[in-house]
Every structure is written in C-alpha cells, then in structure tokens.
Amino acid sequence: MAHIHYREFDGPGPGFYAVLGVLGALILIGLAAALYMEHNGHWVTGMSNQIVWGTPHVFAVFLIVAASGALNVASIASVFGRQLYKPLSRLSGLLALTLLAGGLAVLVLDLGRPDRLTVAMTYYNFKSIFAWNIFLYTGFFAVVAVYLWMMMERRMNDYSKPVGMFAFLWRLTLTTGTGSIFGFLVARDAYDTAVMAPMFIIMSFSYGLAIYLLVLMAAMRGSGREFGDVVFGRLRILLGVFVAAVLYFATVYHLTNLYITQRHGIEGFILVHGGQFTTMFWLGQIILGGVVPLAILFSGVGKSRAMVALAAVLVILGGVAQMYVTIIGGQAYPMPLFPGKTIVASSFFDGQIATYTPSLPELALGVGGFALALALAAFALKVLPFLPQSLSDADADPHHESAAKKQAAAA
Amino acid sequence: MSLSRRQFIGIGGAAVAAMAAPGLRLIELANARSPAEAATSLQRWGLLVDISKCHDCDACVTACSTENGWYGHNRPASDPQWIRKVTLKDNQSGYVETLPVMCQHCEEPPCVDVCPTGASFKRADGIVLVDKHICIGCRYCMMACPYKARSFVHEDTTNQKPYAPRGKGTVESCTLCVQRVDAGRIPACVEACNKDGHEAMVFGDLNDKSSEISKRLASAPSTQLRPDLSLNTGVRYQGI
C-alpha cells in the first residue's frame, strides 16, 4: 500500500455544525435529566429496589462494550498485520476513547452519589470486579491515547505494533471485566455463568464495528472522500461474521440454562412468558438485531450501502435490546430465595416478577451518553487528522482492477 | 391509712422492681463494650428465628422501623425495607408458614465482595454494615445479595436517628441494631417479638457455646437461607 494521507474533516461547515448542534442539545438534555434524577432521588425513575439497574445501565454498558469493540479495527491492522485496515486505525482508536467516555458519563451520572466520584477513585476493595474495572477503564484511556500517538506521530510508528498488541490485550481484559460484572453474580439465575465474559467480548466486536462503520460512512461521505468497495466489502463481511458469532454465544448461553432444571424458570421467563422482555429478546435481539442484519450482510441486498447502513443500525438497536434483556430482564425475574416453596405474601415483592417501565429522564441520560460519544468524535475529527484522505479501491489494493486502470491511464 | 396484706405485697413488689430495674440496666451497661473498644472476632453475633413461634404479625418490622428511623412514602417498589415478613406455601404439601427476612449477616457476604469502595463491610463480630460516607450508590451490592436484603434510598431523608444515619443515594440494610448490640442490648425486632410473647427470635453470640442461641442451635435442626451458596449466615431459621 502506498503512503496513507490523513486529513481533518473538511466537509461543508453548516452540515457539520448542525450535527454538532443536535448532539450538543441531546447532551444538555441528558445532563438536565441527570440533575433532575439526582435532585429528586431515584424514585422519579423507573428504577426501584427490585430493578436497581435500569435504562442508564443498559446504555452505559452498551457503550462501554462497544468502545472496546471499536478498537478492533486498529488491532486487526497492528496486531494481525492486515495492511488494508491500516488507514482505518486512527478512527478506530478515537471511537474507542469517545464511546468509553460516553458510557462512563452515563454510568457515573446514574450513581446514587455521583459527587463521590473521587471516593470511587481513592477507596478500593480489590475483590470487587467494579474496582478492577475502574482501573481497566481509566487505563484504557491512557493505553489507547498512547496507541494513537504511536500511530499518528511518524517517528513513533514503529512502536504501534507492540503498543497495539498491549492495547488489544487490555481491551480483551476490559470486556472480560465488564462481562464478569454479571458473570460473578451468584445470586441470580440469569447471571452466574462464565460464558458472560467471552459473550461480552464477541458482543463488543459486533456493536463496536457497527458504530465504527456508520461513523466512517458518514464522515467519508460528509467530507466527499472516496470509500471504495474493497474496504467497504471487507467491513461488511466482518460485521456479518461478528453478528453470527453473537447469535452463537446467545444460543450457547440459553441452551446451557435450558439444560439446568433450576434455571427453567428464568428461561421460561425470557423466552416464553416474560412480556416486554420476551418481545425484546425475540423481536429486538434475535430477529432485528441478528437474523435481519445477517440476511442483509450476506446476501445480494448487501450490495446496497444504504441497506448495509440499515443492518449496522439494526445491530446497534439489537445490541441495546440484548443489554435490556440481560440487565433488566435478569433482575425482573425473582431470586430463588425459598426453593420448593411459593411465596404467597411479601411486602417487598419477594417471588414476584418486578415491573419496569423506562422513564423519560433515564432514556434522556442514556441517549445523552451516545450523543457525547459522537460529539467528541466529531470534534476530534474536525481538529486532528484521523480520517484517511481516500479509501478508494486503488489505494486499498494495488492489484485491484481500478488500480490497473489508473496506472494504464497514467501511462 | 391501713394497708391490707395484699396491697402491701403489691406496693412492696413494685418498689423492689423500681429499684432493681436501673440496677439491671447498669449490669447491662457494664457488660457492654466501651465505645473506644473495637469489635472483635471473639463474638459472632447471630439471630435464630423459630418459625413455629412466628405469628402472622409484623411487630418486628414496626419495631425496626421505629428504632432505625426508616419509613415509606407509599411507593412500595422504591420504599426501603430493612426487614419484611414473607409468607410461604410448600409446593408439595400446601403447608403455609410465615417468617421475617432481613440481612443474613453472612460470614462470606457477596455484598462486601462486590462493593468497589469497601463501603459494604463486615465487622469483626460478624455484623455486615454499609459505611454511608463512602457508599457511592452504585447498587452492585443489591445485585449481589441473594436475600434482597438491601434498599436504596430513593429520596431525601428526614428525622434520622443519630445512631442510624441514612442518606439519599446510598444503600442501607439491617444493622442487627448495632447501636444496641454495642450497648449490650438486643436488636429491636427481637425485643418486640419477646414483648408480644411470641419469642420467635433469639439473639446472641454464636461463638459462646453457653449462649442461649448456641444451645438452641445445638439442640434442634436449623437451616440457613440459600445454604447452597455456602455463605455461613449469622441468621438461622428453625422450622422451615
């Protein structure tokens, strides 16, 4: 591959600032929602003592998982030596940082005491996976920042491979930590399983690439740069493989639970009679988030870029649905406090399916986190050269027919 | 004024009781640990609930609420509950029983394991508490507790008890009435149950083989809630 040129985003100003304006408004609404919740207390949300992690956690965990996945594109270039992905690496590192920032902002603003962030950073219980995650998340910012520096500073380019390797291992550890937040919970039937960690890793591949692809398409198009079929096709197929892998892990998870009699309750709840959670699982996670994108990405329909973009949007929506089912559905099903007995009365909802309806402030905070991630990325694209000047087929693959034509024309 | 023998014995008895009561209180205080003295693992405080004596009442719940100053806002889903009554029916036999459920004061508490800041902690004498000063309100302990024993404070608090601080945005649960235990007294729930004559709850030191709770546990079968989790709870039940 010839030398890659990068340039700041140079698309038409009004469009760019309109996007930034909309994102800014969403961020402000999200902040107002957080302030409203903190001022009144969490009773104004859909959360309760039954559902203690609500919609903000759905968005926060989704964004954090997607953040580690967004770094994958860079890893493919640095760690696995695929030159085709090299021009895509800077944006990959950038999105990893901004998505994590968006997710963490939501997570922190949903704390009962967000003002005690300094406490969270000065008092540690190292048996807690949350405490490890605080290091994994803050460390991720530092590692990826250094990785970007190695990639963007020509004198440091030689180090991008070892640093990229380190960043890759770090992100695998990070997503293991995020999945294990649930995997290590012994009390609830929906969790307490080691498959959570690898499942979250593969989910990160899928969500991260879906967001990456959409941002790349928008940025290249917005700045009038060529985005050839060679790179595009590669990313499309890769997304398809990741979506299939997520479905595989979801199948393994549910099959395991279906085999364990003790867990038939939670499985019946999620798969058959769980109301909104069953709908969210089949319609959101499986059909819209899995089957339809697969059909688009691996068929002739995938020749259309609009359809591929739609598939990526569906992967994101399906991912949010999967988080909703995992986090909220997993809590809504009661814990097995008295096996062999039915709880006929309790003033604390023991043995009952918990009800949950997302409230507007919770949704606003979650969407605000998304907006923050995208706004930070847009701003960075504007001020620093993250985007390749071209992703044309000729640039991507010197043996591509368009390159041959170009050479012939030059001759 | 002349007193009948019956009246004389009555007044005399009351006078002796009035003089003895403060004396008994003094003995209680003498047995108590001084505030400067740290809790030690010489004790492991525990609670035994005898379900056969547990009636369909909520005296323990009311007493806990009064003692520790927690109360609801007519929003049952988000209102705190440090202790609640649960009624069970056996799936096979249909036998119905009622029992109180609260923090089980595990020897290996999952809430303490998952707490990122160490706000959830276990005292040397086995009482599991939340340090309200460093609780960030992440609610991971509530996800981890198998007994659903914890509540998140969803709104501003008023009329707090100085010995049982509460705070919006933090998590709370049964403290085994640590303020009473440290003063050599028994938890409010146990006292209320005894006062009503049910005597379904026994509080004491599980490490002291001569304590009533140890003797009762040694003489009849008992169980923990979710024994499969091997948490070695401080709260035990007889008759489930």
Which class for A234: exposed (0-12), middle (13-18), buried (19 or more C-beta within 10 A)? middle
Distance CA A186, CA A189 (A): 8
Which class for A141: exposed (0-12), middle (13-18), buried (19 or more C-beta within 10 A)? middle
B43 touches A: beta carbon within 8 Å: no
Ranges A147-156, B35-44, B60-69: which has the least confidence: B35-44
Chain A: nearest CA to B12, how far in angstroms?
A: 47
Distance CA A204, CA A104 (A): 16
- pLDDT recorded at residue A394: 85
Report the DSSP beta bridge partners of residue B171: B152
Residues of B in contact with A129 (CB under 8 A): 114
* pLDDT at residue B187 is higher than 70: yes
Neighbour count for residue B209 (Cβ, 10 Å): 9
- pLDDT recorded at residue B23: 55
Compute the average pLDDT of residues B225-239.
96
Compute the average pLDDT of residues A81-85.
92
Query: What residue in B sits closest to A124 (Cα-Cα)?
Result: B117
Of A368, A283, A315, nearest to A37 by C-alpha is: A368
Q: Kindly tell me the sign of the dihedral angle through the C-alpha atoms of B179, B182, B184, B190.
A: positive
A350–B101: do the CB atoms touch at under 8 Å? yes
Query: What is the residue range of A263's domain?
Result: 15-223+233-335+352-383
B46 touches A: beta carbon within 8 Å: no
* pLDDT at residue A409 is higher than 70: no
- pLDDT recorded at residue B36: 74
Q: How far is CA B169 from CA A32, B97, B112, in A?
A: 18, 35, 18
- pLDDT recorded at residue A124: 95
Q: Which amino acid is at A139?
A: G
Distance CA B159, CA B165 (A): 10
Distance CA A229, CA B1 (A): 115
Bridging pattern class, strands B235-238 and B45-50? parallel
pLDDT band with cut points at 50, 70 and 90 for residue B38: confident
Residue A3 in any domain: the answer is: no
Q: How many domains does chain A have?
A: 1
Residues of B in contact with A114 (CB under 8 A): 136
* pLDDT at residue A170 is higher than 60: yes
- Mark whether B58 and B129 lie in a shared domain: yes
Please count the residues of chain A: 411
Query: Which of A121, A261, A262, A341 to mutate against chain B (most B CBs within 10 Å)?
Result: A341
Distance CA B16, CA A58 (A): 66
- Mark whether B20 and B40 lie in a shared domain: no
A108 touches B: beta carbon within 8 Å: no
A353 touches B: beta carbon within 8 Å: no
- pLDDT recorded at residue B42: 93
Residues of A in contact with B148 (CB under 8 A): 49, 335, 337, 348, 350
- pLDDT recorded at residue A397: 75
Ranges A244-258, B20-34, B53-67: which has the least confidence: B20-34
Residue A298: DSSP 8-state: T
The token duo for A99 is 């998505």
> Which CATH number covers residue A260?
1.20.1630.10
Distance CA B234, CA B106 (A): 6
Chain B: nearest CA to A349, how far in angstroms?
A: 8
B88–A42: do the CB atoms touch at under 8 Å? no
Chain A: nearest CA to B176, how far in angstroms?
A: 19
Q: What is the pLDDT of residues A296-342, one digit of tens each?
A: 999 999 999 999 999 999 999 999 999 999 999 999 999 999 988 99
Q: Which amino acid is at B126?
A: G
Where do runs of H (alpha helix) occur along A153-190?
Answer: 160-183
B171 touches A: beta carbon within 8 Å: yes
Query: Which of A125, A178, A261, A353 to mutate against chain B (most B CBs within 10 Å)?
Result: A125
* pLDDT at residue B32 is higher than 90: no
Which class for B122: exposed (0-12), middle (13-18), buried (19 or more C-beta within 10 A)? middle
Query: What residue in B sits closest to A348 (Cα-Cα)?
Result: B84
Facing residue for A124 by CB, picked from B81, B117, B135: B117
Give the whole-number percent of chain A exceeding pLDDT 70: 96
Residue A6 in any domain: the answer is: no
* pLDDT at residue A399 is higher than 90: no
* pLDDT at residue B116 is higher than 60: yes
Q: Which amino acid is at A310?
A: L
Residues of A in contact with B146 (CB under 8 A): 186-187, 335, 337
How far is C-alpha A398 from the geometric centre of its chain's CA atoms? Answer: 33
Of A92, A19, A137, nearest to A379 by C-alpha is: A19
Facing residue for A130 by CB, picked from B79, B90, B138: B138
- Mark whether B44 and B118 lie in a shared domain: yes
Q: What is the pLDDT of residues B78-108, one digit of tens each?
A: 999 999 999 999 999 999 999 999 999 999 9
- Mark whether B160 and B179 lie in a shared domain: yes
Chain B: nearest CA to A254, how far in angstroms?
A: 21
Q: How many domains does chain B have?
A: 2
Compute the average pLDDT of residues A371-384.
97
- Mark whether B60 and B164 lie in a shared domain: yes
The token duo for A182 is 């649930």
> Which CATH number covers residue B207?
3.30.70.20
A119–B117: do the CB atoms touch at under 8 Å? yes
Residues of A in contact with B96 (CB under 8 A): 344
Residue A142 in any domain: the answer is: yes
- Mark whether B156 and B99 lie in a shared domain: yes
| Cα dihedral A300, A303, A309, A314 in deg (nearest 10) | 10
Neighbour count for residue B181 (Cβ, 10 Å): 22
Q: What is the mean pLDDT of chain B?
A: 91
Compute the average pLDDT of residues A267-288.
98
| φ/ψ bin of A351: left (φ > 0), alpha (ψ from -120 to 50), beta (otherwise) | left
- Mark whether B158 and B212 lie in a shared domain: yes
Distance CA A47, CA A55 (A): 9
Residues 112-151 of A with CB under 8 A from B: 112-114, 116-117, 119-120, 123-125, 127-131, 133-134
All residues at 6 or more sequence positions from A408 whose CB lies less than 8 Å from its CB, including other chains: none
- pLDDT recorded at residue A1: 47
Chain A: nearest CA to B201, how far in angstroms?
A: 19
Of A86, A53, A81, A62, nearest to A246 by C-alpha is: A62
B57 touches A: beta carbon within 8 Å: no
A49–B80: do the CB atoms touch at under 8 Å? yes
Query: Which of A115, A186, A352, A357 to mutate against chain B (most B CBs within 10 Å)?
Result: A186
Give the whole-number percent of chain A exceeding pLDDT 90: 91
Q: Please give the model's pTM, rounded to 2 decimal places.
A: 0.92
B117–A186: do the CB atoms touch at under 8 Å? no
Compute the average pLDDT of residues B48-55.
96
* Under 8 Å between Cβ of B200 and B193: yes
Residue A111 in any domain: the answer is: yes
Residue A405 in any domain: the answer is: no
* pLDDT at residue B15 is higher than 80: no
Distance CA B89, CA A334 (A): 16
Chain A: nearest CA to B134, how far in angstroms?
A: 6
Residue B102: its H or E element: strand B96-102
Ranges A163-172, A296-305, A401-410, B169-178: which has the least confidence: A401-410
The token duo for A25 is 């408004």
Neighbour count for residue B147 (Cβ, 10 Å): 24
Q: What is the SS3 assignment for A310-351? A: HHHHHHHHHHHHHHHHHHHHHHHCCCCCCCCEEEEEECCCCC
Query: What is the residue range of B172's domain?
Result: 36-238
* Under 8 Å between Cβ of A372 and A102: yes
Query: What residue in B sits closest to A56 (Cα-Cα)?
Result: B138
- Mark whether B15 and B112 lie in a shared domain: no
B85–A120: do the CB atoms touch at under 8 Å? no
B114 touches A: beta carbon within 8 Å: yes
A347 touches B: beta carbon within 8 Å: yes
Q: Residue B128 in 3-state DSSP? A: strand
Residue A185 in any domain: the answer is: yes
Q: Tokens 């050599």 — which residue?
A: B184
Query: Which of B75, B152, B224 to mutate against chain A (most A CBs within 10 Å)?
Result: B152
Residue A68 in any domain: the answer is: yes
Half-sphere CA count of A96, side-chain side, radius 13 A: 36
* pLDDT at residue A113 is higher than 70: yes
Residue A179 in any domain: the answer is: yes
Q: What is the pLDDT of residues A244-269, one digit of tens each?
A: 999 999 999 999 999 999 999 999 99
How far is C-alpha A387 from the geometric centre of its chain's CA atoms? Answer: 21
- Mark whether B156 and B223 lie in a shared domain: yes
* Under 8 Å between Cβ of A324 and A356: no
Query: What residue in A sits closest to B172 (Cα-Cα)?
Result: A49
B221 touches A: beta carbon within 8 Å: no
Residue B204: its H or E element: strand B201-205
- Mark whether B15 and B45 lie in a shared domain: no
